[in-house]
Structure 1
Amino acid sequence: MSLDESAEPQAGDAEILVTVENFESIDLDAALDGVDTVEGYTIFSPLFQAATDADARGEHGTGYAYRLLATLAGFCFRVQDPATIFGPMVQNSVVRTTTASDVSTEQNQVLAKVAHSLSHPALRARVADVVWYNDRKQWRMAEVAVEAYCEVIEKRLSGVYRNSYLEEDWVDQHLLDFIERALHILAGTGKRSRIPARVKACVHELYSRAKGHSHFVSFIRIARLAQSYDLTTWETIAEDAERLASSLDDDAYPMAVKGLWDLAADAQGKRNNLEAQRRCKDASIEQTLRMRDQVHSPMAKASWTLDVIGELRAIGGHRDRIKALRLELVELQDQALDELACFIVPMDLSEERKGTVELFEGLTLPDIFYQLAAWWRPVPIADLRATALRSRDEFLFSSMSNSYIDRKGRVSASSPSDGHASEEPDEEWFKAQWLRELDLRRHIAVASAIEPALRTTTQRFPIEERHFPPIVAASPFVPQGHAEVFALGFARLFQGDYCSAAFLLIPQLENSIRYVMTNAGKESSKIKPDLLEEDRSLSGLLQNMRPEMDEVFGADLVNEIELLFHHKGGPNLRHQLAHGKLTIGDCYHHSAIYGCWLIYWLTCKPLLRNWKQHIAPLIEAAAH
């Protein structure tokens, strides 16, 4: 789909066939007069302006040709993403500009006829590349694109063209994009082992220029690229990378220098020179420590220290150094706690609480027990996914990775970034977004509905465990022999003793899930290698029997259970309690209250359909 004609930037109409005659009517040299850059986005504007001028003169065919060339030049060039080499110039959740796949077959054939005649090599390379990208039978266009990419590199290195941002003679990433794409095309046409001399010369010149000018980031990339196409050897890379890394002074950016030592270590490893590989890895770790020394935040220092420990463990043989670093890590993590701060978002839920109180003040006890379970439904995963994607488009920080710090200042969990903005994010990214969304929903639910309902109930009725046997005895969620534990836990929940409720109810969840699944014909145990059988834990169920759990409980509810009781980035109630980490304060947090209430909901939900006929009379009798 193309961006609407009224939107900016307007880059042409994919439905209009631009003919060979239209292209013959343009004056490309005049349109690009004074343009001495080769990046596509710098060519877009003058071409688009030429199209506008042609339209003003009434030369619409010429305007179409200029506009199509501008569109092709404006594609995002994603060389390191083989699935989508050419991306749209503008894209959001509603519309996007044209991309290579929008070029029709007929238009592609026209472009194949005119590509070789385009005077500017960067534009010629782009047009020929798009033609071959859309039609792999156009092997001549592949040759034109490769030759044009080489011409661009040669003229950039000789000073005919310049970088659009940098004045220095840098081997920048744009040049490396051009040569990498040329090599990709050769590989795609079956010429990986027969690379032309001109391409080899460009690779070697880029390698030599990056090494000679200490452009270490570019050197790392061109070195790995050259080796992957057998245009240099690991021995050469090892020597050059180590020599370059050793020649840099202490002011050099340590993360880039680390990349050089890592490259040298990889190269030495390929040569099976283990002693040299270890030496290079040790030098790489020293650059990580330099990164640590350049930051002031204890939290950042702790992060770099943790990275160093991991690198030393991977090498092996550094037990004493790791021991010393771990002591430093504990101290830094303790200092990092001073950097953490709370912030408050005012939220007025007085009207919602008032409505809950008014509702529960007029209900009988059986109706209270019913209403406390009947009002809720799990949030659909589709709604959570849509909200997460909308937040990604609207808020920058939603797309970034996250780290979760425990009360000791340690990184206890992390979530990934969303990757490429045009792709579907990783499932773990979605879960990180859902955690925030569901945490807010839980807070509102506890503050506006659950706590006011519990408090109002205990003000009207002396709630004790004797009120709950009718529920727990009939519920298919409560295994035999556990009814009294559930009843006592629910009584403590209503009484406001959330600590007792949490320690009574949360441990019951896992066993009850297994009980329900077994009764539904889904065997939840496992046979170990020694032929002994044991029940699966909650994590084992979620990992190995997720489809069966979704079938029995519903995918939306299983998602809620995972993110509340199991997921490391969330409250993780089941594990926190099982390992003795749940404090008295944690028990009174809205997540724990919500977790206890959710177990109440799971217990009552199967009974709601026949509540008035079978459950309510028994509760009424127990209340007297």
Structure 2
Amino acid sequence: MADDNSNSVDSVAGDSTDYFELFTRFRERADASPEFGILAKVTSMMLTRDGADRARFQPLGEFAGASTFTTAHITREEITLLKSVKTANVAVTARVHDVLWEFTEGKERIEHVHVAIDAYLELASIVDWRNADDFLHRALELSTRFQGSDKGERIARVRAVARASLDAGASSPGELLTLCELLRVSRPSSDDRDVVVVNINTARRDATAAREHGLERNLIRELQLWEENDDSKQDLTAEVADLWVAEADARLEAPARSAFVAASFLESAVQVLRSIPRKHRERLSVERRIAELRSRIAELGEEAVDAMTEFTSPELSLAEYAEAARRAVTGVGAGEALLRLAQVASLTTEAAERELAEQILDSTLMLMLPTTSLTHDGRVADKATAEEAVERQMGELAHTRRSIAVLGQILPALRIARAEHSLSKSDFVQLAFDSAIVPSGQEQLFASGLYAGWNMDLDAAVHILVPRMEALVRHHLKGAGVLTTHLDRDGIDDEIALPALLDKPEAADVFGADLIYELRTVFAGRFGANLRHNVAHGLVVDSMRGSVVGLYSWWLMLRIVTVPFWSRDSASE
């Protein structure tokens, strides 16, 4: 029964079992008592589940490296306050003792653990199954960790609760999966397995009839964890793949047909089939099925590209940029014009681009959503998780920045320079020989690429200069004493590719952090133009001739060749 004193814990908590509600109540009264202040803090923490089915405390919020309250923030004075808390509220009891055991030892610690577990078990009996799931998993986590203190008696109690609920009948497939999982991790008996299999198979039949493919996949995955026969496990894996295919077919037959979504479902089917061990593949015709799915994915990818919607934004005037760029190269000698052209646009910094990306994402839902990119022919080029949203946004900002630089600065300046100066290949050969940047013996190749770009033959320029960029980076890193090769398992000394070279810690010292960031976004970045990959694998298409990235990559090489990047100290050495 709640205390009649209006300043007591129970007068504030009442009979609430909702921790966010308790947090709100205690926070509103925090000024009235230090006890309410610490209770607001400990009830603000959330119970979350990790990948190992364990329930852990997480802060209510995390912002830019900081967070709301966690037990790591607690003070000695607050521990003393928690020890003095008197309450009949079972949720407050569970949380207080679940915090206190971390800061006590010996018999006192075990007492706090047992009180917390018992309170969680009581909570589970009075709330709905969704909340009960978290409480039971936390009770199981503590019971398992301290099982020696009661010889596993509390683990058995958690199992008994799960089994009793399963026998009583789950109210929904979600509750069924929750109970099966809880039973599985709380030392089930062979009889428990039989009951679980019967219940899941019944739910599967209902899901099949309702064409609830996602639910049926979840049921199969749980069933696999109970299955002891390896052949049967892999048969179930193949059934999961079939369900992805069925869902793809359903999406293609739906009024809101989506080739992109259907292709992503088929890709999921391929990934599932790939997880089947080799010894089962022939029996399950895995290779044939993957080949068939790959063919369908390619067809749907092309359809998805054709069906994409174009979004337009307000026009951005580049007239002022273009006029300034033209003035910069007008009326000067050929050599000076090339030098000014190479500096007509500026490089950004990774820190500035990251800061802008974070600002953009702070006001959108993109931080919470994964994204997928397609190539021109509909293949999935890349997938980014929500955690990689900042890097993805940085890649988009880099593309926008390159477009502005090319259309507003580089191209206008190049047109004026070409109109005023007729440069030959020999001029670029001389430029390459005069540059301390160009590796010895490669001057003709660099000159050919730069001359092609000068004449707007960008497809040739890209195919010549992209490998030269890798050679240039390797040459200067090797000159700085950096190992640029690695031994494979056969003892062969292979050259390290450009992406790995740019990731070398010494790369920023040699080239400068800003230039390394530019090289990543243009040549080797996962979320950038990735020119090195496209050239190496023959993925460049005719549109490169008139592309922004083609001209920008040529200009960047011109800048590197004409504008020294090394530090004065390094040069003097």
TM-score class, shorter:
0.7 to 0.9
Shift of 1:523: 4.0
Q: 1:92 to 1:607 in 2, by over 3 A?
A: closer
Counterpart of 2:519, as a letter, is I
2:475 aligns with one of 478, 495, 515: 515
Q: Answer whether contact 2:328 2:344 (CA < 8 A) is retained.
A: no
Q: Answer whether contact 1:333 1:410 (CA < 8 A) is retained.
A: yes
Match of 1:344 in 2: 312
Q: Answer whether contact 1:443 1:590 (CA < 8 A) is retained.
A: yes
Q: 1:243 to 1:580 in 2, by over 3 A?
A: closer
Q: Answer whether contact 1:477 1:515 (CA < 8 A) is retained.
A: no
Q: Deviations over 1:304-325 (max 9, x none)?
A: 1121122223332324433433
1:41 aligns with one of 20, 25, 38: 20
- In the TM superposition, 1:186-335 aligns within 5 A as 186-189=143-146, 191=148, 194-197=151-154, 200-210=156-166, 212-213=169-170, 215-232=172-189, 235-236=193-194, 239-240=197-198, 242-249=200-207, 250-251=209-210, 253-268=212-227, 271=228, 273-295=229-251, 296-315=257-276, 316=281, 317-318=284-285, 319-335=287-303
Question: 1:214 and 1:405 mapped to 2: Cα distance?
Answer: 42
Question: 1:201 and 1:494 mapped to 2: Cα distance?
Answer: 78
Secondary structure, aligned partner of 1:78: strand
Is 1:467 the equivalent of 2:438?
no
Question: 1:434 and 1:238 mapped to 2: Cα distance?
Answer: 48
TM-score scaled to structure 1, two decimals? Answer: 0.78
Question: 1:44 and 1:572 mapped to 2: Cα distance?
Answer: 49
Counterpart of 2:173, as a letter, is F
Match of 1:578 in 2: 536
Shift of 1:240: 4.3
Percent identity, please. 22
Question: 2:62 and 2:500 mapped to 1: Cα distance?
Answer: 40
Q: Answer whether contact 2:5 2:11 (CA < 8 A) is retained.
A: no
Secondary structure, aligned partner of 2:373: strand
Counterpart of 2:407, as a letter, is A
Question: 1:121 and 1:476 mapped to 2: Cα distance?
Answer: 75
Question: 1:209 and 1:47 mapped to 2: Cα distance?
Answer: 33
Question: 2:297 and 2:121 mapped to 1: Cα distance?
Answer: 50
Question: 1:474 and 1:467 mapped to 2: Cα distance?
Answer: 11
Question: 1:441 and 1:41 mapped to 2: Cα distance?
Answer: 44
Is 1:103 the equivalent of 2:74?
yes
Question: 1:504 and 1:512 mapped to 2: Cα distance?
Answer: 13
Q: CA RMSD in A?
A: 3.3
Shift of 1:206: 3.0
Which segments of 5 or more consecutive residues in structure 2 lack a partner in the other structure?
252-256, 569-573
Q: Deviations over 1:324-346 (max 9, x none)?
A: 33333233222212221332332
- In the TM superposition, 1:495-574 aligns within 5 A as 495-542=455-502, 546-574=504-532
- In the TM superposition, 1:111-126 aligns within 5 A as 111-114=82-85, 117-126=86-95
Q: 1:243 to 1:589 in 2, by over 3 A?
A: same
Shift of 1:362: 4.2
Counterpart of 1:552, as a letter, is V
Q: 1:385 to 1:113 in 2, by over 3 A?
A: same
Question: 2:450 and 2:436 mapped to 1: Cα distance?
Answer: 16
Shift of 1:142: 1.9
Q: Deviations over 1:59-101 (max 9, x none)?
A: x34xx43454344323333343899944444554598644443
Shift of 1:300: 0.6
Question: 1:374 and 1:386 mapped to 2: Cα distance?
Answer: 24
Q: Answer whether contact 1:565 1:573 (CA < 8 A) is retained.
A: yes
Question: 1:67 and 1:608 mapped to 2: Cα distance?
Answer: 57
Counterpart of 2:73, as a letter, is D
Shift of 1:152: 0.6
Is 1:151 the equivalent of 2:122?
yes
Q: Answer whether contact 1:475 1:607 (CA < 8 A) is retained.
A: no
Counterpart of 1:300, as a letter, is V
Q: 1:299 to 1:521 in 2, by over 3 A?
A: same
Shift of 1:215: 3.4
Shift of 1:181: 1.2
Q: Answer whether contact 1:238 1:263 (CA < 8 A) is retained.
A: no
Tell me which moved more, 256-265 or 126-135.
126-135
Question: 1:239 and 1:192 mapped to 2: Cα distance?
Answer: 33
Question: 1:94 and 1:539 mapped to 2: Cα distance?
Answer: 28
Counterpart of 1:257, as a letter, is E
Match of 1:129 in 2: 98
Q: Answer whether contact 2:240 2:272 (CA < 8 A) is retained.
A: no
Match of 1:613 in 2: none
1:141 aligns with one of 85, 96, 112: 112
Counterpart of 1:259, as a letter, is N
Match of 2:571 in 1: none
Q: Answer whether contact 1:238 1:265 (CA < 8 A) is retained.
A: no
Which segments of 5 or more consecutive residues in structure 1 lack a partner in the other structure?
1-21, 157-162, 164-170, 419-427, 611-624
Tell me which moved more, 519-528 or 595-604.
519-528
Q: Answer whether contact 1:74 1:89 (CA < 8 A) is retained.
A: yes
Counterpart of 1:76, as a letter, is M
Match of 1:168 in 2: none
Q: Deviations over 1:522-567 (max 9, x none)?
A: 3423445555544333245356xx2243342234433322232123
Question: 1:553 and 1:23 mapped to 2: Cα distance?
Answer: 72
Shift of 1:150: 0.9
Question: 1:293 and 1:142 mapped to 2: Cα distance?
Answer: 52
Question: 2:464 and 2:263 mapped to 1: Cα distance?
Answer: 37
Counterpart of 1:186, as a letter, is S
Shift of 1:133: 4.1
Is 1:402 the equivalent of 2:360?
no
Q: 1:371 to 1:47 in 2, by over 3 A?
A: same
Q: 1:285 to 1:533 in 2, by over 3 A?
A: closer
Shift of 1:452: 1.5
Counterpart of 2:161, as a letter, is E
Q: 1:151 to 1:591 in 2, by over 3 A?
A: same
Is 1:431 the equivalent of 2:391?
yes
Question: 1:229 and 1:313 mapped to 2: Cα distance?
Answer: 31
Q: Answer whether contact 1:203 1:226 (CA < 8 A) is retained.
A: yes
Q: Answer whether contact 2:458 2:544 (CA < 8 A) is retained.
A: no
Shift of 1:146: 1.1
Q: 1:455 to 1:232 in 2, by over 3 A?
A: farther
Shift of 1:292: 2.2
Shift of 1:154: 1.9
Shift of 1:28: 4.3
Q: Answer whether contact 1:412 1:568 (CA < 8 A) is retained.
A: no
Q: Answer whether contact 1:153 1:202 (CA < 8 A) is retained.
A: no
- In the TM superposition, 1:403-418 aligns within 5 A as 403-418=372-387
- In the TM superposition, 1:348-363 aligns within 5 A as 348-363=317-332
Question: 2:275 and 2:68 mapped to 1: Cα distance?
Answer: 46
Shift of 1:577: 2.1
Counterpart of 1:341, as a letter, is T
Counterpart of 1:266, as a letter, is L
Q: 1:407 to 1:371 in 2, by over 3 A?
A: same
TM-score scaled to structure 2, two decimals? Answer: 0.85
Question: 1:390 and 1:41 mapped to 2: Cα distance?
Answer: 29
Q: 1:275 to 1:96 in 2, by over 3 A?
A: closer
